[in-house]
């Protein structure tokens, strides 16, 4: 079957067109496909499916074969494919987490309305009631934690964002894997580490639930700026430098929606 190998700010995907049906991937097959040594290599595997409520339905699997609710960078990639196919500059991508509106802003630049962030403790969800602007979670020695009080945001999937003074000193794998399935998060959590450079510029590294460290994560970029703005560390509109590329995030005061704008790249088309 034909597939597209694409990335959004370095976040890599294998995308199948299953709008006519017939794709039947098992979790082990997905894991093998996503593994760079046994297959193509990707952070997530995506299937485009038919829908009556938008232009396309996007199904998402993590690299371990588990399902994911949302993926902002993959949404941009799928939106671009459908726009190229149909000639449209505006489409709606449906996901398990809801419908997302996408707009073409350039040849390979796509903007996606990611909807309103969910900010209540039970919406993240957390295992107990907490102020989600800075939840009671510490990493390191009890009397001298090196990470603490992350902000929690749900952007179709759960995220926590740690604010750090120097991103280069953080062991993303060690800290991210420790937090990912902490008992405080009954559904697991995506973990972001954000360094604020100015009111309008930041750096972010991400540990994705069931995927590990990635070069970028669209929904984590959204969660990072929402969490930072809630703490008055940044404006509601800011640039995020990821290891794989830059993404612009705006948390609209007028609509409460988070708009994510960034690049896509079609690496190649092949078959498996």
**Residues involved in catalysis:** 71, 217
Task: Give phi and psi for 238, each to the nearest 5.
Answer: -155, 155
Question: Over 144-167, what HEC string results?
Answer: CCCEECCEEEECCCEEEEEECCCH
What is the rounded distance in angstroms from the CA atom of residue 105 to the CA atom of residue 156? 23
What is the rounded distance in angstroms from the CA atom of residue 61 to the CA atom of residue 38? 17
Q: Is the dihedral of CA 196, 73, 62, 68 positive or negative?
A: positive
Three-class SS state of 179:
helix
H/E stretch holding 268: strand 265-271
Are the beta carbons of 73 and 11 closer than 8 angstroms? yes
What is the rounded distance in angstroms from the CA atom of residue 181 to the CA atom of residue 272? 33
Q: Give the pair of three-digit tokens for residue 107.
A: 């040849």
Residues 6 or more apart whose CB falls under 8 angstroms from that of 70 comprise 60, 95, 96, 97, 114, 155, 156, 157, 219
The alpha-helical segments, DSSP class H, found in 21-71 are: 27-34
The crossing angle, in degrees rounded to 10, of helices 218-230 and 72-86 is: 130
């Amino acid at each position: 079957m034909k597939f597209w190998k694409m990335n959004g700010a370095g976040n890599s995907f294998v995308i199948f067109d299953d709008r006519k049906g017939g794709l039947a991937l098992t979790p082990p097959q997905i894991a093998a496909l996503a593994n760079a040594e046994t297959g193509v290599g990707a952070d997530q595997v995506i299937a485009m499916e038919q829908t009556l409520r938008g232009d396309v339905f996007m199904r998402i699997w993590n690299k371990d074969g588990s399902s994911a609710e949302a993926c902002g960078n993959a949404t941009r990639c799928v939106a671009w494919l459908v726009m190229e196919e149909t000639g449209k500059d505006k489409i709606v991508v449906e996901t398990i987490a809801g419908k997302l509106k996408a707009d073409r802003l350039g040849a390979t630049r796509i903007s996606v309305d990611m909807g309103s962030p969910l900010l209540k403790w039970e919406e993240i969800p957390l295992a107990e009631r907490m102020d989600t602007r800075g939840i009671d979670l510490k990493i390191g020695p009890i009397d001298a934690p090196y990470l603490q009080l992350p902000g929690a945001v749900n952007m179709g999937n759960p995220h926590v964002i740690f604010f750090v003074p120097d991103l280069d000193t953080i062991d993303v794998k060690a800290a991210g894997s420790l937090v990912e399935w902490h008992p405080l998060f009954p559904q697991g959590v995506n973990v972001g580490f954000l360094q604020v450079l100015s009111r309008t510029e930041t750096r972010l590294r991400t540990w994705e639930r069931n995927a590990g460290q990635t070069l970028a994560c669209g929904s984590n970029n959204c969660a990072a700026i929402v969490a930072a703005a809630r703490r008055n560390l940044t404006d509601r509109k800011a640039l995020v430098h990821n290891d794989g590329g830059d993404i612009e995030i705006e948390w609209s005061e007028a609509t409460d929606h988070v708009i994510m704008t960034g690049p896509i790249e079609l690496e190649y088309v092949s078959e498996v």
